Structure 1
Amino acid sequence: MQDDRGLKRIFTLSWAYNLFQELVGATNSRKWVAEHFWRAQPGQKVIDLGCGPATAVHFLPPGVKYVGFDVSDKYIASAKAKYASDPDKTFLVGVAEDFVDHLPPQMQDADLVIINGLLHHLNDDEALTALKLAHKSLATGGRLVCLEASFLISQSFLAKWILKQDRGQNVRSEPEWKALVSKTFERFDTYILTGLLRIPYTLIVIEAKP
């Protein structure tokens, strides 16, 4: 579930979303995660589930075959316009349910599937469907890397309050994230990250393999 009421509605516009991400330092944090966890290589295929306006492209090396997938027509239209001349960039509109049982060629044999801030917008059933789609999309030896908001058992009042203001209404604790991912992936690790943003905001990286 996503809360787009009131002032939050502006973040459905790609320019507003990108501006906010820049202000809170998400650009630098995503670059750090890309270097330390994505580790994408030229020639690999990367699928970005919940790609938004495809900001992840900035942190991938040249020569990567990128497939962006999102429910928002506005975000996908913006991404298509920006990368219209790049044959290595493909964009699809839909929800995970549309493709999980019938994968199109674009969603197959990925070396890396990334999910950035999508799952905390989804309830458990929806998130499980997205994880199943990621699992089916991976090639042998491929990896899934998720970057999500996370509550901690011991957390400052301000950090917890900021997480509760997120548009995504399903921010989970680390044990809850582990329980969710374990229903689809047997092998995974989690890493708690603090201090990556300019605001008190706790992130969790989930790295999983089929």
Structure 2
Amino acid sequence: MAQRISGAYRLITIPSIYKGLMFSLGADNAITRYVDEALQPKAGMKILDVGCGPANVLAYLPAVDYTGIDLNEKHIDYARRRYGDRGRFMVGNAADDLKQEEKTFDLINVSALLHHLDDDQAVSLFTSLKRLLKADGRIVTFDNVWLPGQRAAVRLINKLDSGINIRTPEGYLGLLSGLGFDIQTRVFHDLLRIPYDHFIMIARNS
């Protein structure tokens, strides 16, 4: 993982602090709109949430077959305590630990993860995730982004982010190049209470 984890950055690995920070910034609105406008889950879908953290998105989903996977054991423990049998929560790496579930997922959520991965790690992840998708499945990603003429406040916040691989839209799209996806993109400028820009990719099996 390409990210800052020392000093004050270590605090965001603590579920209660991470969740409190995100919701103070307006995460409720952000997740609601992301789910409604990008993820668009349907009841009964089999959904994989990669880098799920404390599984905040699960509270916004209909009745689905949910699997959340994350390397942070504290986040997974928190999700298990909060959601119980509403989902399956795993400590691990989706690229290595779900190979037995090839072509079974309708929807894969990759939210706020790519800017923590270098290019090789991200391409390897997408290659693995494509094998887990059903023929008509989708991968949806959500990350902060560098944009031309970006507001100074957004650029400053990006520079302070714990993830060190924030990309331009072209940089994110390049991670999916050659993998056989049809890709739609969208940029949000108003999901949080602070100035911030988010880039979304919706990748469908073609």
TM-score where L is the length of structure 1: 0.92
Distance 1:184 1:30 in 2: 27
Query: Runs ≥4 in structure 1, deviation > 4 angstroms?
Result: none
Which residue does 2:187 correspond to in 1?
192
Which residue does 2:87 correspond to in 1?
89
Which residue does 1:17 correspond to in 2?
18
Q: Which runs of 5+ in 1 are unaligned?
A: none
Distance 2:90 2:158 in 1: 29
Give the SS at the match of 2:69.
strand
* 1:115 to 2:113 alignment: no
- Kindly indicate whether the alpha-carbon contact (under 8 Å) linking 1:47 and 1:66 is maintained by their aligned counterparts in 2: yes
- Kindly indicate whether the alpha-carbon contact (under 8 Å) linking 1:128 and 1:184 is maintained by their aligned counterparts in 2: no
Distance 2:7 2:38 in 1: 35
Distance 1:129 1:197 in 2: 30
- Kindly indicate whether the alpha-carbon contact (under 8 Å) linking 2:103 and 2:135 is maintained by their aligned counterparts in 1: no
Change (3 A) 1:203 1:44: same
- Kindly indicate whether the alpha-carbon contact (under 8 Å) linking 1:116 and 1:148 is maintained by their aligned counterparts in 2: yes
Distance 1:89 1:117 in 2: 20
1:99-130 per-position Cα deviation (integer Å, ceiling 9, x unaligned): 3xx6133x751111001101110001111122
Which residue does 1:52 correspond to in 2?
53
TM-score where L is the length of structure 2: 0.93
The CA RMSD over aligned residues, in Å, is 1.5
Distance 1:12 1:147 in 2: 19
* 1:150 to 2:148 alignment: no
Change (3 A) 1:5 1:159: same
* 1:74 to 2:74 alignment: yes
- Kindly indicate whether the alpha-carbon contact (under 8 Å) linking 2:94 and 2:129 is maintained by their aligned counterparts in 1: no
Size of the alignment, in residue pairs? 204
1:91-106 matches, within 5 Å, as: 91-99=89-97, 103-105=99-101
Distance 1:159 1:128 in 2: 26
Which residue does 2:201 correspond to in 1?
206
Identity of counterpart residues, as a percentage? 31
1:17-54 per-position Cα deviation (integer Å, ceiling 9, x unaligned): 10011011122111101011111111111100000011
Distance 1:75 1:16 in 2: 11
The code of the aligned residue for 1:150 comes to V
The code of the aligned residue for 1:3 comes to R
Give the SS at the match of 1:8.
helix
Give the SS at the match of 1:151.
coil
Distance 1:132 1:59 in 2: 28
- Kindly indicate whether the alpha-carbon contact (under 8 Å) linking 1:150 and 1:173 is maintained by their aligned counterparts in 2: yes
Give the superposition deviation at 1:161. Answer: 1.0
1:145-186 per-position Cα deviation (integer Å, ceiling 9, x unaligned): 111110002212221111111111100011111111224343
Distance 1:183 1:55 in 2: 32
Give the superposition deviation at 1:190. Answer: 1.2
